[in-house]
Structure 1
Amino acid sequence: MPVNLLPPQPDALHPVPGVRLGVAMAGVRKANRRDVTVIALDEGATVAGVFTANRFCAAPVQVCREHLAAGQAVRALVINTGNANAGTGDDGLARARSVCRALAQQLGVAPTQVLPFSTGVIMETLPNERIEAALPAALADLGAAHWAQAAEAIMTTDTLPKAASRRVSVGGRTVTVTGISKGAGMIRPNMATMLGFVATDAVIAPAALQALVREAADASFNRITIDGDTSTNDSFVLIATRRAGHAEITSLDDTDSAALRDAVVAVAQQLAQAIVRDGEGATKFITVRVDGGRTEAECRQVAYAIAHSPLVKTAFFASDPNLGRILAAVGYAGIDDLDQTSIDLYLDDVHVATRGARHPRYREEDGQRVMKQSEVGVRVDLHRGAASTTVWTCDLSHDYVSINADYRS
């Protein structure tokens, strides 16, 4: 069961003017499930994206990068679940491009104006003919209020759909930000087997939109880890339909950009944290904060050393306050001149270690009390400087092994 995560309420997901979504059943991997999604954009929309850092990236990632680099206005996104189209070579590229051509023909646009996305099993041939056959049904289903249906249609091992929405005032106009994501495993920094799609009707210049999608990714999807694996298909896309009617935002330094930036980051963080809460087999949602670093980069090193550690994660699953595992992770994080005698460790309100040793008032039952909670905070103070960072992770359970052992069956 996901950790304190509820399915989105469709009426709480605000439609974004200029965006319509439709879903259909293609039988990509399993029959009788909605597994193809089309997101259609009105003319004038702009799109920016960031993609996996995995050098063995999937065919749709390669095609998305090509199409965005071509510079033509994106008019549609097409997403399939059940098959990643990764590790498929030139044939996979041809099949991804074929899906783009098929959708472009039906929309009356150029193939380079379509972005493809896939998620699912790696090294299996994409059944593009089935996807293409389902496109008319997806187009017939297009609707501005279909965010919840689309969130469900892009799921793989997720147990719940993930969606979020905000409305803010920008330049005296109401601006909407709504998004969906999927992901439950193979999640780590630089995103992972996750897809995220966020749209706004804000009027923002393309260069500022690209800066905003990177900033939002760094504050959200690049701060989560479930199992330390980086997938082949990670994609996070930000769409601006430019329909809100306020003066154009040309830079994130513009006065009116702060409210938009805060809303986009808030939606992205909600979606990213939902992925961790729905982590495969997760029973605990863990916030890891590292303070007192000389730089944010070294704080991230320590935070991810803790969040990636199987020993730490299994201790949290068992609610076993074997907290020397956390200190060990801090020690091997890669800070060569780290002074272990300056480190403080906290579990929520419990001061576990001070000056690199067990706090004299720490009692194991206090640590266990915190670890039995469904949401746990870990804080490390390095006492080296003023930098800090936060990442989100989950525990590692028996079910994680079972889910991944049975994934292809």
Structure 2
Amino acid sequence: MSQKVAGVKGMNDLLPGEIEIWQHVEAQARELFGRFGYGEIRTPMVEDTALFVRSVGEETDIVGKEMYTFNDKADRSLSLRPEGTAPAARAYIEHSIANQEPLTRWFYAGPMFRYERMKTGRYRQFYQIGAEAYGAKEGAQDVEMMDMVVQFLERLGLKDITLNINSLGDEVCRPTYHAKLVEYLQAHREALCGDCQKRMEKNPLRVLDCKNEKCQAIAAAGPNVLESLCEPCRAHFDDVQRKLTALGVRHVVNPRMVRGLDYYTRTVFEFIASHPALGTASTVGAGGRYDKLVKSLGGPDAPAVGFACGLDRLVLLLKESGQQFTVRPDVFVAVADAGSHDAALVLASRLRREGLRVEFDTRGGSLKSQMKRADKSSAEFTLVLGEAERTSGQAKLKPMAGGEPIPVALDEVARVVRERKVVSA
């Protein structure tokens, strides 16, 4: 007996019964983001490794520990994308989008890859829906993006999610904060984990993002980044807060919050859920401003802001919500005798062309077994087709939830089903 082949650990199959939730989330995002003027882009799942080293940061855990990196047959170093912003920025530069339009709004949806320690809501192949806006340096763009996420989560019916915001300053004021932070961390160096002792030298902000409890306690008592903001960064952050308030978007200022990527400047934000189903993976969406990323990758000096939501975590929350996402078939077409099988196949095909969702078991079988399958399918109606129905052109729609059968002409089935669905709705 040959050995069974299993899927790759941390990369999950999405099957009918669950995939409907994913489709619902993606459909809600596409419709809503379109309202905000965002167009969809699709970038390759594989990029030049240098793209992520230069953008995400060589000292981040993502680049240093988590990327799936390999050499192709031309000996080029390639990586599966661990996040969506850097590929989008690369596409923005490569296609000279800045020369075509002053303000660009994009969104994307798809799989990302990181070799992480797995737990609930955190997998090695995970899915994100995200958006990027290029060309606007104003706080209004930051707020529009956060408002879009708020409306997205509301459309999904998700509650008890808190928006945390912070400002990391820019190239003018951040060095001052860095100096204060390094001085503080040096005084606690021996109590920090080994990784944070290394981070202190190259990117001290990474210490604030460490998951080690001792490091978190030390960081919490350290310097406040908001106290080091220069006047323009302070004005920008005040403007963001004022506009969020004007929109009625509740938020919490969290000066200890940073993002795990190097390209962020000024505004950063996270949407944090309190539901126990997520365990410690409570952030369902996050993002911020990255005004220098495009230029650092060889593009124009274009300000930008973006976010990403984790689909895996949103789906976990929706599973817990008790909402129903499976779409019921309209009709199950059953065959009463072998001579009616071809006619039933033709009828099912025609009803599908007329817009109905139709279940039909191509194997045939006894009418009793077909009726069991009809019941299991949760179809709203069952239509049995036999010689009598073929000859007369008349049949009966049996409501599977109970009730009297409905006489119907075979060429009027679609119309009658649609009318009955409207009445029941």
Q: Give the TM-score of the pair, scaled to structure 2.
A: 0.22
Bigger strand share:
1
Pair member with larger Rg: 2
For CA contacts below 8 A with separation 6 or more, give which structure has more relative contact order.
Answer: 1
- Give the helix-richer structure, 1 or 2: 2
